[in-house]
């Protein structure tokens, strides 16, 4: 008999349950979410599979309450936007925004992004947002942070050459670690030329509810990267 045991997956987020959903939110989770969910199949995920035809494909990882996701989808109706979020109350809020604005360019994965990232056809993503991910601030928890070499391997494979990655955090240790890990990985170029490039909100940024709460230990740090050509 083999002594090998299944590896326990490292979670990059806390508990998934939140406050009870409203009657409308529960209806949207039951009725709308299945229509927007990423299909469960062996097919590569492409714009054609997800949205019925070719279009730029963007991804937001950990969209929280969906504020940035919804505003970005509304401002860019010609793109296809995938949102991944494991917290059901955040998913319900995003579904409310999709329903209120009759958005047709959003698809939602209501779980860990690492479940579907390997399925995205290589070179398909044109833009990626990772905005204020769970910082796991205690030293013993930091191995749970999303920005890890294996995650960056999969992300780099899914992104097209020249695709943009935006990472933001308001926790200094995470900003330092993420910048170091992403630059060490080798697949991304960082384009900051002066302090304002990482201190100031990007002109096209849509503030999130978490960002406005100012819960971190520093002002938001904005790290903008471009996927290198192979």
Instruction: Find out whether 66 and 94 touch, Cβ atoms under 8 Å.
Output: yes
Residues identified as active-site? 134
213 is written with which tokens? 């709460």
Residues of the chain with pLDDT under 50: 1-10, 12-16
Cβ atoms of residues 80 and 55 within 8 Å = yes
pLDDT in tens, 103-158: 999 999 999 999 999 999 999 999 999 999 988 776 666 788 999 999 999 999 99
| CATH, domain range 47-227 | 3.40.50.150
Query: How many whole angstroms separate alpha carbon 133 and alpha carbon 144?
Result: 11
For residue 7, what pLDDT is reported? Answer: 36
Q: How high is the pLDDT of residue 11?
A: 53
Q: Classify residue 132 by burial, with Cβ atoms within 10 Å: 0-12, 13-18, 19+.
A: buried
Provide the CB-side half-sphere exposure for 76 (13 A, CA): 20
- The closest alpha carbon to 85, from 164, 24, 29, 162, belongs to 29
Q: What is the DSSP letter of 86?
A: -
Domain ranges of the chain: 47-227
In order of 20, 29, 182, 194, the CA distances from 155 in angstroms are: 33, 28, 11, 26
Stated as kind and residue range, the H or E segment containing 46 is none
């Amino acid at each position: 008999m083999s002594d090998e045991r299944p590896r326990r997956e490292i979670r990059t987020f806390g508990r998934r349950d939140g406050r009870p959903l409203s009657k409308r939110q529960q209806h949207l989770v039951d009725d709308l979410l299945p229509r927007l969910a990423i299909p469960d199949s062996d097919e590569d995920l492409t714009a054609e599979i997800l949205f019925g035809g070719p279009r730029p494909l963007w991804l937001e990882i950990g969209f929280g309450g969906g504020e940035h996701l919804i505003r970005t989808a509304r401002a860019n109706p010609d793109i296809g936007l995938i949102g991944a979020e494991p917290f059901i109350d955040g998913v319900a809020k995003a579904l409310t925004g999709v329903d209120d604005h009759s958005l047709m360019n959003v698809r939602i994965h209501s779980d860990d992004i690492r479940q579907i990232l390997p399925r995205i056809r290589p070179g398909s993503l044109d833009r990626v947002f990772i905005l204020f991910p769970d910082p796991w601030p205690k030293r013993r928890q930091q191995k749970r942070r999303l920005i890890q070499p294996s995650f960056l391997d999969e992300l780099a494979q899914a992104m097209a050459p020249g695709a943009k990655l935006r990472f933001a955090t308001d926790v200094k240790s995470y900003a330092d670690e993420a910048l170091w890990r992403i630059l060490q990985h080798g697949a991304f170029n960082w384009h900051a030329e002066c302090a304002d490039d990482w201190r100031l909100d990007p002109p096209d940024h849509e503030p999130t509810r978490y960002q406005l709460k100012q819960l971190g230990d520093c002002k938001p740090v904005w790290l903008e990267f471009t996927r290198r050509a192979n």
